[in-house]
Amino acid sequence: MAHKTLHSNQKLFTLSLILLSLSLLIFFIFFGSKNNVVNRFKVETDQPNQFFTNPRWFDLIQEESNGDKKIKVGLVNLNDEEVSQYEVHGNGSLVDTVRVHFDRVSKVREWNDFFPVWINEDSNLQPPTCPEIPMPRLEEYWDLSVVVAKVPCDGWTSEAGMRDVFRLQVNLVVANLLVRSGCAKGPDIKREVYAVFIGHCGPMPEIFRCDDLLRKEGDHWVYKPELKRLKQKVLMPPGTCQIAYPFGKTDNARENKLKNRQFNHREAYVTVLHSSDAYVCGAIALAQSIIRTNSTKDLLLLHDEHVSPRSLTGLRTAGWKTRQIERIRSPFAKKGSYNEWNYSKLRIWLLTWYHKVVFIDSDLLVFKNMDWVFHYPQISAAGNDRTLFNSGIMVIEPSLCTFEDLMLKSFKVGSYNGGDQGFLNEVFTWWHRLPNEVNFLKYFDRNHSLDREKIPDDLSAIHYLGLKPWMCYRDYDCNWDIKERQVFASDKAHEKWWQVYDEMAERLKPYCGLSPHMNWRIKKWRRIAKKLSLPDEHWKIGVTDPRQYNLVQ
Ligand SMILES: *[C@@H]1O[C@H](CO)[C@@H](O)[C@H](O)[C@H]1NC(C)=O
Ligand SMILES: *[C@@H]1O[C@H](CO)[C@@H](O)[C@H](O)[C@H]1NC(C)=O
Ligand SMILES: *[C@@H]1O[C@H](CO)[C@@H](O)[C@H](O)[C@H]1NC(C)=O
Ligand SMILES: *[C@@H]1O[C@H](CO)[C@@H](O)[C@H](O)[C@H]1NC(C)=O
């Protein structure tokens, strides 16, 4: 009996030992990885057989690259001292490390050099050039599986957008290396490639999407980028110093394949209405204008509860699919201000059933088919001023983690105008320039005032800045009647809007009526313009618009 107890005690003891070892093993696997990757990498090199001492990202990559045992690591932007820390000296037939050499971008180069206010878009002239961002000799690094890069974070704060040329260079070097190595086996056979970024600010989210982040541990960020999207980004010009091409000039075959794909309901034009019915007529005319161009894309309108049921009927009749959202307050806008709820636009990133979305403001009209802009990556847009894009038309790629990131940043990152445009320009500092004719801004400062009645007929879209056409009499652009708004005045653009109106179905026109208040406002401005004897003399024009007699409530 005693013997038997002893025996079972022994068994229990052995079992406990096994359990303890197992727990320890599990503990090491899951918690050991939280240590600094640098040190862990060193440990690994001393004891190549102890798999649980590998850095966690290294494990992850080995797990993912099933079978492909050999791992070649490229090191980017690490100084001599750091290289010795990151270099793997272990079993050469398993891991190989190379240092990637490239010339640093000239220190005199500033962000503005890559993002000029204006470029010459005349295709008859020599295309504008961009300053050089040196790249490594990619043919020497065609077989990497992992690129480890230290990202410069100088001057980085979470409050301000990051406009650092060297940071851009490092990100582009990594992207180019990954694309080169990932596609080295041929156009269809892709090598699995990974990026590890070291630095508290991480890589540029414009190039390395949060969707591709496998893991973040402290200052280390492990990405497995989707090569197709990354390839498109490295084909973009380094800044807005040139017009972007959808796939680079050479990739015609793919472009044609995309062109031939007739109906793609995974892509949509999306607009957002919130807070009132003021832009309903604009959105109706917009839908009609897009349909006129034989677009094959979905039309989706996001609205909050302040858009009336009657308006929604009109919007749906005009061609929009509608979807209700909750509006988003701009954290820095004054209560009751005109842009208090402009961050509602950020909801477009939640439309993840769409592969791509072209956001379009309701005060635009489309005149020429522009479905081709769907070929561009996020964010492609037309220029506004300084280094900034205009958020009236933007190509975006819906993504849940991007939306979450934007919401978090919205409380920290400021906006120069309190609106979404200022905010988005701080988050997406690296953007791609679409030709201005995609989002022709109806804005004529002193230097361009002669252009205001010479609006080309082949524009893709006009952005009706200032007072909206449906808030004026159709006889002339009522921006003329207010001195400060004359920069927005163009009778030619105004007329083009009313041409679309004229082609609308009769049952849609009542949504563009004048309310007594709007009518009263127009008359007031006309009186003031007359009193001031504004020299353009639009206030002298006899009004024939029948809407002035058929006011709607
Ligand atoms: C390196 O690894 C390979 C494959 O696992 C093995 O065959 C070889 O013996 C190792 N060499 C050394 C020096 O450890
Ligand atoms: C749209 O398609 C119709 C019918 O195929 C055609 O007659 C019309 O010219 C097209 N419009 C545009 C703007 O391409
Ligand atoms: C904000 O939204 C309002 C109403 O939709 C619009 O009139 C205004 O231009 C927007 N402001 C900015 C800065 O985007
Ligand atoms: C007009 O052009 C001149 C010279 O190109 C420039 O210096 C000036 O700033 C411009 N004025 C405006 C209002 O843009």
Q: At residue 250, does pLDDT exceed 50?
A: no
Q: What percent of the chain has pLDDT over 90?
A: 64
Domain with CATH 3.90.550.10 in the chain: 267-441
Query: Do residues 34 and 104 touch, judged by C-beta distance below 8 A?
Result: no
Q: Which pair of structure tokens corresponds to residue 367?
A: 């005149």
For residue 538, is pLDDT > 70?
Answer: yes
Q: State which of 62, 88, 93 you would mutate to test the pocket of ligand 1, scoring each by most atoms of that ligand within 8 A of its C-beta.
A: 93
Q: What is the whole-number distance in angstroms between the Cα of residue 447 and the centre of ligand 4?
A: 6
* Class of domain 267-441 as given by CATH: alpha beta
Spatial separation of the C-alpha atoms in residues 239 and 242, rounded to whole Å: 7
User: 93 in ligand 1 pocket by Cβ < 6 Å?
Assistant: yes
Considering only CA atoms, which residue is closest to atom 1 of ligand 2?
Answer: 294
378: amino acid identity, one letter? Q
Distance CA 350, CA 404 (A): 9
List pLDDT tens digits, range 443-488.
Answer: 998 888 888 989 998 999 999 999 999 999 999 999 999 999 999 9
Residue 485 Cα to ligand 4 midpoint, Å, equals 19
Rounded Cα–Cα distance for residues 46 and 108 (Å): 43
The residue whose C-alpha atom lies closest to atom 10 belonging to ligand 1 is 91
Give pLDDT tens digits for 98-131.
Answer: 999 999 999 999 999 999 988 988 878 888 999 9
Residue bearing the CA closest to ligand 2, atom 6: 294
Mean pLDDT of 163-189: 89
Q: How far apart are CA 171 and CA 168, in angstroms?
A: 5
Q: Which atom of ligand 2 is nearest to the CA of 294?
A: 1
pLDDT at 248 over 50: no
Q: Give residue 116 CA to ligand 4 midpoint distance, Å.
A: 15
- Binding pocket residue ranges, ligand 4, CB within 6 Å: 445-447
* pLDDT band with cut points at 50, 70 and 90 for residue 82: confident
Question: What's the confidence (pLDDT) of residue 40?
Answer: 39
pLDDT for residue 53 is more than 50: no
Q: Any idea which ligand is nearest the CA of 444?
A: 4
How many Å apart are CA 419 and CA 416, to the nearest integer? 8
* pLDDT above 80 for 181: yes
Q: Which ligand is nearest to the CA of 47?
A: 1
In the 8-state DSSP scheme, what is residue 342?
B
pLDDT band at 415; cut points 50, 70, 90: confident
Nearest CA to ligand 3 atom 12: 419
**Nearest-atom index, ligand 3, CA of 417:** 13
Mutate to test the pocket of ligand 3, among 338, 345, 393, 468 (most ligand atoms within 8 A of CB): 338
C-alpha 162 to ligand 3 mean position (Å):
25
Burial of 109 (0-12, 13-18, 19+ CB in 10 A): middle
Question: What atom in ligand 2 is closest to the CA of residue 293?
Answer: 13
Query: Which atom of ligand 2 lies at the shortest distance from residue 369's CA?
Result: 13
Pocket test for ligand 2, best of 288, 289, 291, 294 (most atoms within 8 A of CB): 294
- Ligand number, closest to the Cα atom of 424: 3
What is the residue with the minimal CA distance to atom 13 of ligand 1? 91
CA of 445, closest atom in ligand 4: 13
C-alpha of residue 550 to centroid of ligand 3, in Å = 28
Q: What is the mean pLDDT of residues 32-55?
A: 40
| DSSP-derived secondary structure for 66-84 | TT---EEEEEES--HHHHH
pLDDT tens digits along 124-175: 888 899 999 999 999 999 999 899 999 998 776 666 568 999 999 999 999 9
Residue 239 scores a pLDDT above 90: yes
pLDDT at residue 7 greater than cutoff 80: no
Closest ligand to Cα 465 = 3
* CA 386 to centroid of ligand 2, rounded, Å: 38
Phi/psi-derived region of residue 199, left when phi > 0, alpha when psi is between -120 and 50, beta in every other case: left
For residue 132, the one-letter residue type is: E
Structure tokens at 89: 């000296």
487 CA distance to ligand 4 middle (Å): 14
How wide is the angle at C-alpha 328 spanned by C-alphas 366 and 303, nearest 5°?
A: 45
* Distance from residue 456's CA to the centre of ligand 3 (Å): 26
Burial 147-184, CB ≥16 within 10 A → b, else e: bbbbbbbeebeeeebbbbbbbbbbbbbbbbbbbbbbbb
Taking residue 438's Cβ as centre, other Cβ atoms within 10 Å add up to 26
CA neighbor of 65 nearest in space, from 226, 176, 194: 194
Give the ligand with the smallest distance to the CA of 117.
Answer: 4
What are 317-344's pLDDT values in tens digits?
Answer: 999 999 999 999 988 888 888 788 999 9
The amino acid at residue 78 is L
- Residues 2, 19 contacting (CB under 8 angstroms): no
Cα 294 to averaged position of ligand 2 atoms, centre (Å): 6
Integer CA distances (angstroms), 86 to 24, 40, 362, in order: 27, 10, 52
